[in-house]
Amino acid sequence: MQSLVVIAVFAPLLGAAIAGLSGRRIGDVPSQAVTTGLLFLSCALAWSNFCSQVWGHAEPFTVVLAPFIDVGQFQSDWAVRIDTLSTVMLVVVTTVSSLVHLYSWGYMAEDDCKPRFFAYLSLFTFAMLMLVTANDFMQLFFGWEGVGLASYLLIGFWFKKPSASAAAIKAFVVNRVGDFGFALGIMTVFWMFHTIRFPELFPLIAAKAGSSWQFAGQSWSALDLAAALLFVGAMGKSAQFFLHTWLPDAMEGPTPVSALIHAATMVTAGVYMVCLLSPLFEYAPTAKSIVMVIGAITALFAATVGLAQNDIKRVIAYSTCSQLGYMFFAAGVGAYQGAMFHLFTHAFFKALLFLSAGSVIIGMHHEQDMRKMGGLWKLMPITWIVMLIGTIAITGLGIPHLDLGFAGFYSKDAIIDSAYVASKTNPLASFAFVVGVLAAGLTSFYSWRLIFMTFHGHAKWGGHGEGHAHDHGHHADAHASDDAHAEPLPDDEHHAHDHKPHESPWIVIVPLLALAVGAIFAGWFFDEKFVGADRAEFWRAAIFTLPSNHVLDQIKSVPEWVVWAPLIVTIIGFVAAWYVYIAKEGLGARIAARKGPLWSFLYNKWYFDELYDATFVRGAKALGDLFWKGGDQKIIDRFGPDGVAAMSEAVGRAAGKVQSGYVYHYAFIMLLGVAGLLSLALFAWG
């Protein structure tokens, strides 16, 4: 099994190398076949390992592949570490990625750079697999930066679009801010423990509990400092509040990329890292509280912004941001297993929602604005059904006590109940609980708003409404945002499509059906193992909790009103969306047309982009201008090279006046020189 797991990890890298280096030589179809085939092989091996670990009770193991760094106490190896935590992530990453590869056969059919695209997808997958199987911080950092690189390449895949290039740069820069904190966290851990290897590190943490670090005349908790710095990295990678601005703009990449980023790879890395480092966070209560508060704020912020977005992919992007907030505040209250459970179920229904949105975009001839859709359920019945399944799953619709619901019901309710239990000992958890319930209602509203605007109501496409879709050739995501526009097309491509939307081809539909099965059954099937009675046997030593952490033990005994609150707000959100977009169709458009302060605040994403532009972008530009125009030009150049050059020029002009061109002038000067020399000689002899 060990060798098979190693093959599962490195198979995507082989596919990326073949398609990336030989894609033009072997052609599109072989490149697609190699990368997709190797991903499905990796997926099959990952599921085999999962079954072996979960039902076969196989022991965790580590395969050391090669030495990496050996400098004094700083030692690192290339290794593949397998325990329940990495096993769950292997299944999530390879399952979603293999289906995304298959889906891309249909979605990218008209693109002329398919080998490059599939190579990037496989490289993305490999980097994430290296991250989740890392046995020390160095390999974790390698995978961490690898997914950052791959996201940059994929978000900016259509690099001829200025908006895509700008979005890729934005994602890269924002993540560098988070990664700076992450690197400082790794340095702090090494400074404290003199090792970065997880098996050596985790047993040492308890002994350091309560230790402090003196800085600036203050005493700081050393473990809290290390954990907080590491969480800064998670904030950037998982798009948490303050470092979230890159995620919605990532929609500029092709839709399969969005599904991979949001469901299985990059944004889940931060959640995984916090759960992996549970031995550290359990002894860092202040850092845990920071994780909880930031996660709760993110869940609320993103849910409110999702209410006012019109681009179908942006709505789903903000829902990802919100759901990640749920995962983080679950980890912050000590329910690490609940966070991983929601990560697991979220992978299925979020990939389903994104790929279903891509199916809508294909059927609508690459239109993404929901205001130009409507009435699609009869024309795209399969897409409608699977997106309905994804919506029910993400809203967490289910019946308590009967344990009857789709995937999100089990994991979301476990998180909300955990926050309530934690509030008995931590007042900040009360805030997380209230936000969790409120965000559930907002999630229901914006999710059903998407369904109603896209599939129901009056048709607004073609000749049925104010706008019609435009075909943008192979640039399937030309309308990647309300503010981004594709480059002008040749005259022969400027034609409106009055023909009806259509269902997507089967190569696109099959992955949706597979993900729909996960969105329905993943929660019910794995509930007991992730957060229920079997969790101790399931997780074994992969997640650590202190003996005083009884959060998940008590979620079955919360009051009835806590049990029913998520369902009640979910129903309220559904009814409100139905009233605004179906019963009183057009009411939402009229509210938006008024452009009131609350609507503008939400539509403009709490004005974070404007705030960051005014402070960081313009501030950095002003600081650069100060050093350039003030320091470099007016001081250094003025008194340095420019001053020396001016002095040389002046001396040259003065000396040049002596060069008159008349022989008698030169003879006179020579005579003066001879006279001077004679005078000097006579003076010396005298």
**Structure confidence at residue 642 (pLDDT):** 72
Helix or strand (DSSP H, E) at 17: helix 2-26
- Does residue 655 or residue 541 have the better pLDDT? 541
Look-up of token digits 């059903």: 448
| Better-scored residue on pLDDT, 401 or 544 | 544
pLDDT value of position 645: 78
pLDDT of residue 489 exceeding 70, the answer is no
Contact partners, residue 665, CB within 8 Å, separation at least 6: none
Provide the pLDDT for residue 500. Answer: 82
**pLDDT in the model for residue 478:** 40
User: For residues 105 and 254, is the Cβ–Cβ distance under 8 A?
Assistant: no
User: Where residue 122 falls among pLDDT bands split at 50, 70, 90?
Assistant: very high
Cα(213)–Cα(192) distance, integer angstroms: 10
pLDDT value at 474 more than 70? no
**The two three-digit tokens of residue 465, written as one number:** 């409404």
Backbone angles phi, psi at 155, to 5 degrees: -65, -40
For residue 136, give the DSSP letter.
B
pLDDT value, residue 333:
95
pLDDT at residue 144, rounded to an integer: 95
Contacts within 8 Å (CB) and 24+ apart, 162-168? 163/252, 163/480, 163/481, 163/483, 163/484, 163/485, 164/252, 164/253, 164/480, 166/249, 166/252, 167/246, 167/249, 167/250, 167/251, 167/252, 167/253, 167/480, 168/252, 168/253
DSSP 617: I
pLDDT of residue 499: 66
Any idea of the CA torsion for 448, 310, 363, 490, to the nearest 10 degrees?
180
Average pLDDT over residues 270-288: 95
Give the ranges where 238-267 is alpha helix by DSSP (H). 246-249, 255-263
pLDDT at 10 > cutoff 80: yes
pLDDT at 403 over 90: no
Sequence-distant (6+) residues with CB within 8 A of 652 are none
* CA dist., res. 437 & res. 536, Å (int): 27
pLDDT tens column, 177-198: 999 999 999 999 999 999 999 9
Q: If you average pLDDT over residues 306-325, what whole number do you get?
A: 93
Per cent of the chain over pLDDT 70 is 94
Which pLDDT score, from 0 to 100, does residue 633 have?
73
Give the mean model confidence (pLDDT) for residues 593-601. 89
Q: Counting beta carbons within 10 angstroms of the beta carbon of residue 473, is it exposed (0 to 12), middle (13 to 18) or buried (19 or more)?
A: middle
CB 327 within 8 Å of CB 76: no
C-alpha dihedral (630, 634, 636, 637), degrees to nearest 10:
130
Measure Cα distances from 605 to 176, 305, 309, 485 in Å: 22, 6, 9, 19
* Contacting residues for 240 by C-beta, under 8 A, at least 6 apart: 234, 270, 294, 295, 298, 324, 325, 328
DSSP assignment letter at 484 = B
Three-state secondary structure call for residue 390: helix
Instruction: Report the sign of the C-alpha dihedral through residues 512, 513, 519, 522, in that order.
Output: negative
Angle, in degrees to the nearest 10, between helices 381-395 and 407-422: 20
What share of the chain has pLDDT > 90, as a percent?
Answer: 64
Taking each helix axis from N to C terminus, what angle separates 381-395 and 336-363, rounded to the nearest 10 degrees?
Answer: 160
Tell me, what DSSP letter sits at residue 71? E
Given this model, what pLDDT does residue 186 score?
95
Q: What is the pLDDT of residue 12?
A: 96
pLDDT at 408: 93
pLDDT at 612 over 90: no
pLDDT at 490 over 50: no
Q: What is the DSSP letter of 633?
A: I
Distances (CA, A) of 418 to 21, 100, 285, 397: 49, 33, 16, 18
Query: How confident is the model over 47-60, as pLDDT tens digits?
Result: 999 998 888 888 89
* Residue 467: predicted pLDDT: 36
One-letter amino acid of 646: A
* 521 pLDDT higher than 60: yes
Q: Residue 331 — pLDDT band, cuts 50, 70, 90?
A: very high
For residues 42 and 94, is the Cβ–Cβ distance under 8 A?
Answer: yes
Selection from 164-168, 564-568, 606-610 with the highest mean pLDDT: 564-568
What integer pLDDT is reported at residue 402 of this predicted model?
86
Alpha-carbon gap, residue 488 to 471, rounded angstroms: 12
> Who wins on pLDDT, 425 or 568?
568
By CB atoms closer than 10 A (0-12, 13-18, 19+), residue 471 is middle
In 108-221, where does DSSP find H-type helix?
114-132, 137-155, 162-193, 198-205
Read off the pLDDT of residues 641-671 as tens digits, 9 standing for 90 and up: 777 777 887 887 777 776 777 787 778 888 8
pLDDT classification of 491: cutoffs 50, 70, 90: very low
Q: Which helix (H) or strand (E) holds 674?
A: helix 663-685
Q: What is the mean pLDDT of residues 562-572?
A: 95
Mean pLDDT of the chain: 88
pLDDT of res. 685: 83
484 pLDDT above the threshold of 50: no
Buried b (16+ CB within 10 A) or exposed e, 241-260: bbbbbbbbbbbbbbbbbbbb
Q: What is the pLDDT of residue 481?
A: 39
pLDDT of residue 25: 92
* Statement: residue 470 has pLDDT above 50: no
Q: Judge whether residue 676 has pLDDT over 50.
A: yes
Residue (of 144, 181, 185, 175) closest to 269 by Cα position: 144
